[in-house]
Structure 1
Amino acid sequence: MTTVAETPRAPRGRRPMSERRRDLQRLEISREAVRLFRAQGLAATSGEQIAEGVGLSVRTLWRYFRSKESCVEPLLSQSSAAFVAMLRRWPRDRSLEEHLIADARPSSPTSPGDDEAALAVIAMSRAEPAFRAIWLVVHERSEPVLAEVIADRLGRAPEELAVRVQAATLAAALRITTEDYAVALADGVAITGEDMVARLSEAVRAATHGVIGEALT
């Protein structure tokens, strides 16, 4: 007796969301959450409001984020990743100032307001410990890449203790500079792009005792 092989049935339920689509959804939620936090504050903003703003159920929102405060993480991560990527592109024949001026670009070409929103969260972290904790975790992730940048400029290995210590120091210097800039913007203090470049360059030299910052020949 001949049997006919059955055609495999498609699994029931929703198809798994691709990682790219999931990241985009998380970023959309983050933008809406930060918009609400800036407009009405953290305490007055609920998960229900955030979910409604992006057309999701609250149950779905909590599948993406563990709390309403953690909704700010994608925007902060995007901004931090963009800066780290810029450091990776730093040509050896340019000083840091020259590179920062030539390579300045928004972290999200499609949503240039993302950088401003991330800075607003950093400024709010002065008074919101939950935001502060997330910002510190996000920024700490840049240390391994900073170690690679320093090692490349010095011709050393990124695993060396001295290089890792310099990377941690540089990360702290960049964090402080970013926080100062974010707070100044929130307080209505005008800081030009040239001023920001000068401050970043000064922070890099101070953190590395001047061993990086200049063009290499």
Structure 2
Amino acid sequence: MVMPDDSDSFRLRVVSEALRLFAEKGYEATTVDEIAEAAGISRRTFFRQFRAKEDVVFADHEILLAQAAEFLSAEHDDPWDAVCDAAMLVFERFSHWRDVARRRYAVVHAVPALRDREIVTVFRYERLFVEYLRDRLPGVSDLALVQFAALVTATHNYVLRRMVRDESAPTSQDLREVLSEVRATFRDGVPARPRTEDDVVVAVFARGTAPRRVAELIERRLNGDH
């Protein structure tokens, strides 16, 4: 028997064995006793670590949510950047646990109840980011905080799914570059405003107006002077 050490590596070992059995036998057909035996632990030990069979499927998410929360609890110069860095941390951990992520993807998409649980789990990352930003940026519009957290989470999840499916195998650098673009859409905590008619200046001058005078008047108008 392998004695548990309450470490993340122990829990991930159980998760890996459980997902292997789910893939081979099916989620419903696999019992807790079979998971415990494959992981080299007792049934009692299993239930000390996991409340139910369903919890095993998402145990790595629980680990990563805790690590992301710990990361955000530290001091950061820029809270917006910190959220992007937290998303990077999650992605890089999943990169190391790619086999586990791939097995879970296959199992979850075969079991409707697990798909529902996955949606809830993913939302917890977004909620973590929103609550962090609310605490660090009390003067910023709540809508902007929610928009930013949702955009970071959705971007991370999209790239992660591509990695799990092995579609061109995106890397951490790929995600970092995309998140940099996401960050750039928020200027001083405000989503970049799309160009409108108000952003276009139409200038009409009498024929013969001196070029220097044209340039001066256009510059004043662009600067908001009237």
Matches within 5 A, 1:15-26: 21=6, 26=11
2:170 alignment partner in structure 1 = 191
3-state SS, counterpart of residue 156 of structure 1: coil
Q: Please, which of 59, 71, 76 is the counterpart of residue 56 of structure 2?
A: 71
Query: What stretches of structure 2 of length at least 5 have no aligned partner?
Result: 192-226
Between structures 1 and 2, the one with greater helix share: 2
TM-score by structure 2 length?
0.56
Tell whether the 8 Å contact from 1:27 to 1:74 is kept in structure 2 after alignment.
Answer: yes
1:133 alignment partner in structure 2 = 116
Deviation of 1:75 (Å): 0.8
Q: Please, which of 144, 147, 164 is the counterpart of residue 130 of structure 2?
A: 147
**Alpha-carbon distance in structure 2 between the residues aligned to 1:115 and 1:79:** 14
Q: Which amino acid aligns with 2:21?
A: L
**Alpha-carbon distance in structure 1 between the residues aligned to 2:181 and 2:110:** 27
Deviations 1:34-89 (A, max 9, x none): 34345665355432321111223446535644432221232111123333444455
Structure 2 residue 31 is the aligned partner of structure 1 residue 53: no
TM-score by structure 1 length?
0.58
Matches within 5 A, 1:1-217: 21=6, 26-38=11-23, 41-43=26-28, 45-58=30-43, 61-62=46-47, 64-89=49-74, 91-92=76-77, 96=81, 100=85, 107=93, 113-114=96-97, 117-118=100-101, 120-122=103-105, 124-143=107-126, 145-151=128-134, 154-156=137-139, 162-163=141-142, 165-189=143-167, 190-203=169-182, 211=189
**Alpha-carbon distance in structure 2 between the residues aligned to 1:116 and 1:204:** 30
Tell whether the 8 Å contact from 1:140 to 1:171 is kept in structure 2 after alignment.
Answer: no
**Alpha-carbon distance in structure 2 between the residues aligned to 1:192 and 1:172:** 21
For the structure 1 residues 104 and 140, does the alpha-carbon distance in structure 2 shift closer, same or farther, using more than 3 Å as the test? closer
**Alpha-carbon distance in structure 2 between the residues aligned to 1:170 and 1:93:** 14
Q: Which amino acid aligns with 1:117?
A: V
Deviation of 1:129 (Å): 2.7
Q: Which amino acid aligns with 2:154?
A: I
Query: What stretches of structure 1 of length at least 5 have no aligned partner?
Result: 1-19
Kindly name which structure, 1 or 2, has the bigger radius of gyration based on alpha carbons: 2
- Structure 1 vs Structure 2 CA RMSD: 4.4
For the structure 1 residues 94 and 182, does the alpha-carbon distance in structure 2 shift closer, same or farther, using more than 3 Å as the test? closer
Aligned residues with identical type, % of pairs: 27
Deviation of 1:195 (Å): 1.1
**Alpha-carbon distance in structure 1 between the residues aligned to 2:75 and 2:29:** 42
3-state SS, counterpart of residue 141 of structure 1: helix
Deviations 1:172-197 (A, max 9, x none): 33442333223212322121222111
Deviations 1:97-123 (A, max 9, x none): 9x749x858549xxx844652465356
Aligned residues: 184
